[in-house]
Structure 1
């Protein structure tokens, strides 16, 4: 095994083997391409088409995006002072680490006449979580203490309720 690895390395140095990385690209059908083109054209001001085309100012748009994050990693590096104790990180299974979904909402930044920033464009980031009372006592908390738990399955209904109740109220 080690012999093959060194032979491969030597052949790469001798330029006998060409290294290549291949990034995945989305497969777009003709209909996908037409839809993307229609969207791009919808962002152009119609009154400016005859002369120099100008894009819409996008002041009335809010962009939302979601991202899943793991609550912890299987292995994590810590830098500790000599007097600090090593942290104890536990979970029920290394194969099933809890994930939390976040929804981010942003808009175009706004400036006044003197180019001072009035609004930076960040609306808010919303975690898909809920609060639930603890069922029994433990060494960490008393029974009926509210615990924050992740919503593990985000459905269309939950996503829509977050858009309506949280994002729209934050705007």
Structure 2
């Protein structure tokens, strides 16, 4: 094989590899929708749960609420959240205590406690990007007796969600 053929073959292989490497470029959150919830519990270690496009329900013509529900399998710690805000606006919003809950370390559902459970939306660009700080207190149900527990889990974090291109 001469040098010209070798360079030509290597060039073709490199181009093919480059195309394969770029094949997932349009599979990003901005195109498909999704995002993340980064949080800490009682000021401890930070955790991240990835959000799929279907993990968030946002207000539209038939709904007036924003609901985030993470998938248990996405949490390395075994946490799952359902956070609901009725009629969300920019600024501080109260989370709905009936539909907002947390499963901590694969325990049973712990619901919100107290009156100061805030989801503070700071971005809502044409309903395509939603970002918020969360400051919530949930029942601590990790010992199995959720009804008679006295402690709570203080969850603080950051939510970021993109609406997929097809859904805009």
TM-score by length of 1: 0.22
Q: Rg larger in 1 or in 2?
A: 1
State the structure with bigger RCO (CA 8 A, min sep 6), 1 or 2: 2
- Per residue, is there more helix in 1 or in 2? 1
- Per residue, is there more strand in 1 or in 2? 2
